[in-house]
Structure 1
């Protein structure tokens, strides 16, 4: 059975928010990742990504748009969303999961250790193509 995860790509002014996974994490330690996590029983991917954004970075998502992703991890079934509108200022409220948050431009991604190698293939186009919802 695949682990279903919901991922949020918050994009603002040509920059993407990433969370640095704590070095003590069991899975994907010491790397940059999108905000998100596992779906809870009975939860839709949309509900999960909204919950994860509240729990991890204290923002309420106003609108989200599903994006197709392939993480090349046969154990995960990802549900990813582009988020361009939210209320609140992203802050790290889950220090046991992340030890930092950062906003990155497309050119910054190549120098980061990303949680999934396939991120490099689709995150740049997501950042450059993001337009705030009206």
Structure 2
């Protein structure tokens, strides 16, 4: 069976202390309660960077310039009904203060502590890369 491919753009927002922002999926959403990197689906006709900038503003109230997004790694994971392709960008600069507009909770976490936060299967492999970098 061929699964549809869903493209999701995600960001590892990194603060001055080397912590990364993760967000808890809200009730009523698939994989509710799990922690993920902020971002969202790329809409038809939208470039992944545009989608990520839009999602960060919608979900967190921060404005990011495309030049502040550094492509880092990607996840490719087959869920039961779709295949997720998720590029992860690093972002160390943004305008505004992070506020929670969408998620159940937000947390600034050092990558080596992310194992304490249950994450979706697609996000898990990305953590090891962040541990190596930060």
Q: Which bracket does the TM-score occupy, shorter chain normalised?
A: 0.7 to 0.9
Q: Is the 8 A contact 1:92 1:101 kept in 2?
A: yes
The 1:68–1:17 alpha-carbon spacing in structure 2 relative to 1, beyond 3 Å, is: same
* Cα distance change, pair 72–123 in 1 and its aligned pair in 2 (3 A): farther
Number of residues of Structure 1 aligned to a counterpart in Structure 2:
123
Report the TM-score, using the length of structure 2 for normalisation: 0.84
Structure 1 contact 71–119 (Cα < 8 Å) conserved: no
Secondary structure of the equivalent of 1:110? helix
The answer to whether the 8 Å contact 1:69/1:122 transfers is: no
**Larger mean Cα displacement after TM superposition, 107-116 or 4-13:** 107-116
1:68 maps to which of 73, 86, 111: 73
More displaced stretch, 79-88 vs 114-123: 114-123
Q: Secondary structure in 1 aligned to 2:45? A: coil
Higher strand share: 1
- Distance (Å, rounded) in 1 between the aligned partners of 2:132 and 2:97: 24
Cα deviation code 1:32-57 (max 9, x no counterpart) = 10101101111000000000000000
Structure 1 position 71, deviation (Å): 4.2
Match of 1:16 among 15, 20, 23: 20
Of the three residues 24, 27, 32, the one matched with 2:35 is: 32
Structure 1 unmatched runs, 5+:
129-134
CA distance in 1, matches of 2:36, 2:130: 11
TM alignment of 1:98-117, pairs within 5 A: 98-116=103-121, 117=124
Contact preservation (8 Å) 2:73, 2:126: no
TM-score, normalised on structure 1?
0.84
Alignment-derived partner of residue 47 in structure 1: 50
SS at match of 2:117: coil
